């Protein structure tokens, strides 16, 4: 039996750990600005999200930011307001990873930075710079 025979796909807990490790590797100044952002990992987006985002398949969405971004005046929490959240979707991420030439860690970091970037209203160039600066 080869060393790969016992390998299994990363679980939700594995993805959660990878997402938090990816977040910890982002530049400190960026992380400090993210105070209060919650990272959640699910297998797939729920049906409401799929409909809202006009997805044709549950595999169409890799991640999502939900909340009031800083660019929209979301710097202050109000009573009854849910925290800003970044959702990462395990199964679509695994499917994308299987079809592309990048590491799973890089992909998780990319989607995490992109979704958090929405929180700040960052440009694609800004987000690329943050990814490049990540450990």
State pTM to two decimals. 0.86
The class level of CATH for 19-71+82-133 reads: alpha beta
Residue 37's pLDDT is what?
A: 87
pLDDT tens-place string over residues 3-44:
788 889 999 999 999 999 999 999 998 888 788 889 999 999
What confidence category does residue 46 fall into, taking pLDDT thresholds of 50, 70 and 90? Answer: very high
- The model's confidence at residue 57, banded by pLDDT at 50, 70 and 90, is very high
Q: What are phi and psi of 41, to 5 degrees?
A: -120, 130
Radius of gyration of the chain (CA): 16
Phi and psi at 121, nearest 5°, equal: 70, 35
**Structural domain boundaries in the chain:** 19-71+82-133
Nearest to 90 by CA among 28, 32, 39, 30: 39
Q: Residue 18 has what pLDDT?
A: 96
Q: How does residue 76 score in pLDDT terms, banded at 50, 70 and 90?
A: low
Instruction: Name residue 88's beta-bridge partners.
Output: 41, 63
Percentage of residues in the chain having pLDDT higher than 90 = 57
């Amino acid at each position: 039996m080869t060393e790969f025979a016992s390998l299994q796909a990363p679980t939700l807990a594995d993805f959660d750990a990878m997402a938090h490790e990816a977040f910890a590797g982002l530049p400190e100044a960026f992380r400090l600005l993210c105070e209060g952002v919650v990272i959640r990992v699910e297998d797939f987006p729920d049906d409401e999200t799929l409909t809202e985002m006009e997805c044709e398949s549950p595999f169409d969405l890799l991640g999502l930011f939900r909340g009031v971004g800083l660019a929209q005046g979301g710097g202050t929490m109000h009573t009854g307001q849910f925290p800003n959240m970044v959702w990462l979707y395990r199964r679509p991420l695994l499917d994308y990873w299987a079809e592309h030439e990048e590491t799973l860690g890089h992909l998780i970091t990319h989607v995490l930075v992109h979704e958090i970037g929405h929180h700040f209203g960052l440009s694609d160039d800004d987000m690329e710079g943050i990814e490049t600066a990540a450990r």
